Structure 1
């Protein structure tokens, strides 16, 4: 259980997240994920990173139960900072990051894939932000990188999800494959990227980040301020009090 890194072939590092039962990450998990991605990208032998997950789904966001157990705002501050670090680590990774997504990708999962360079998804993958149902805000910054503006707003306000096939039609998912082919499909894309010159890939990543029209770190940090305000004002506690388990036993949040 936790975050692990493997090197299945030359030039490719695979960072795998495994927090049963649904990959709802505790505060420490977000920091561990950030550290693993940064370390993989800093390795001069690595030219592409694949971010994947074990278990039932890619990511169910934050472990809400950890927040509920906290008697002060320590866990909230920790998870805000942890998510910020993990999302930024994917965005700032020195080499391209391919996200391999299966099952549910919600809450913090959107922050991860929204900051990735490419997404390969299984045909059972779904994406969404249930924040308004979970007493929080955030990651609209990253959802806006996956879908057009008005669709992003509608999904955010309704907490609805979209399928991998729908995101493929919008151009944000590179490829949709059967679940048993996801790992190989992600490696195939990573292999193609990793065949390029490593120094040139690093320059390309820096150049592409440099021309982004939105500073994803600043905009996400701005969103987090409203999450904290909702907690200070008691709104978040009121909403979270109605939260038990999701239909699949999850603890979705960002």
Structure 2
């Protein structure tokens, strides 16, 4: 069974992440997302996509338990590269993709949301990159996309503290587009915008989606590559092993700075 289901209505595809209990971004989920994007690319009738999560969360992060099955630095580098390529593809998709975030978008979940073109959130949603609390770092371009939205100082604060911000705070910081008081209003509004965008001419939509990414800094790709290398290197440290194990055991990690 796919971890991502989708429906199409009025030229809008809605992707629903279904990987209980926390919609963690496993390798399977990433592969399923790539497959869904393939399907939409072959359906010219679809002019916008909404991504949402089933249950309590948008996505509470990467599948940390799956990380423990990886052994070598090259394995972690391949994992980072897989996620980075997929999210870069999403960001450069030929039609707009709107993330409708409720509950939490943390770690890899926020990295997925940041690769979307708009982020609609509930006011009480939590958004953050908590990787440093596990002795690791973001690996799916989080260190590169977050400063683009919130500026360097806020990105340092969010990543180094490992503490999330609310949906309302995310809008104020520039990370999210709009916030809503409840899930019903969130999902309805995300769908309304998607339908409004999809009412436009397909060729004009495609050109806009091609042109806006030109505004990205030329060093972005270098930064993403450097993040992948650092992600792989960090996973080889004793602190990373301790942090991940502490997360699994639901205890505070005892880091030794090595």
Same fold (TM over 0.5): yes
Offset of residue 145 of structure 1: 3.0
Offset of residue 73 of structure 1: 5.2
Q: Give the whole-Å Cα distance in 2 for the aligned partners of 1:232 and 1:14.
A: 38
Structure 1 unaligned segments of length 5 or more: list them: 248-254
For residue 6 of structure 1, what is the aligned residue in structure 2?
7
**How many residue pairs are counted as aligned between the two chains?**
246
TM-score (norm 2): 0.87
Q: Which of 117, 138, 143 is matched with 1:140 structurally?
A: 143
Distance change >3 Å, CA 122–CA 215, structure 1 → 2: farther
Kindly provide the CA deviation profile for residues 156-201 of structure 1, in whole angstroms up to 9, marking residues without a partner as x: 1010111111122234422211122221111011011111111110
For residue 86 of structure 1, what is the aligned residue in structure 2?
86
Q: Which of 215, 223, 235 is matched with 1:231 structurally?
A: 235
Q: Give the whole-Å Cα distance in 2 for the aligned partners of 1:144 and 1:22.
A: 26
Distance change >3 Å, CA 206–CA 215, structure 1 → 2: farther
Distance change >3 Å, CA 227–CA 55, structure 1 → 2: same
Distance change >3 Å, CA 33–CA 231, structure 1 → 2: same
Specify the SS of the correspondent of 1:46: coil
Q: Does 1:155 align with 2:158?
A: yes
- Point out which structure has higher relative CO (alpha carbons under 8 A, 6+ apart): 1
What is the root-mean-square deviation in Å for CA atoms of aligned residues? 2.1
Specify the SS of the correspondent of 2:247: coil
Residues 4, 32 of structure 2: 8 Å contact kept: yes
For residue 198 of structure 2, what is the aligned residue in structure 1?
194
Distance change >3 Å, CA 235–CA 86, structure 1 → 2: same
Structure 2 unaligned segments of length 5 or more: list them: 252-258
Offset of residue 78 of structure 1: 4.8
Kindly provide the CA deviation profile for residues 189-245 of structure 1, in whole angstroms up to 9, marking residues without a partner as x: 101111111111001100111222256554223212111111234332132222226
